Amino acid sequence: MTPPDTFIEMARRLAREGAGAACDLEADRLMARARQLPTPKARALRRAAIGLSIAARALYQLSPGGPVPGFRPLGLRGAIAAGSLALTRGRARQAELIGLACAGSAPDSPVGLRLAGQALFAQGRFARAVVALAGAVSRDPFDAFTRALHAEALLFSGEHEAGWRALSLARLQGGEPEPLAQALDLALRTGALRRAGRSVTP
pLDDT tens figures, 68-124 = 777 888 899 999 999 999 999 999 999 999 999 999 999 999 999 999 999 999 999
Q: What is the pLDDT of residue 188?
A: 65
Q: What is the mean pLDDT of the chain?
A: 85
**Domain map (residue ranges) of the chain:** 1-106, 108-202
pLDDT tens figures, 150-165 = 998 998 898 888 888 8
Average pLDDT over residues 13-20: 90
Which CATH number, 3.30.420, 1.25.40, 1.10.3860, 1.10.3210, labels domain 108-202? Answer: 1.25.40
DSSP letters along the chain, please?
Answer: ---HHHHHHHHHHHHHTTHHHHHHHHHHHHHHHHTTS-HHHHHHHHHHHHHHHHHHHHHHHH----S---IIIIIHHHHHHHHHHHHHTT-HHHHHHHHHHHHHH-TT-SHHHHHHHHHHHHTT-HHHHHHHHHHHHHH-TT-HHHHHHHHHHHHHTT-HHHHHHHHHHHHHH-STTHHHHHHHHHHHHHTTTGGGS-----
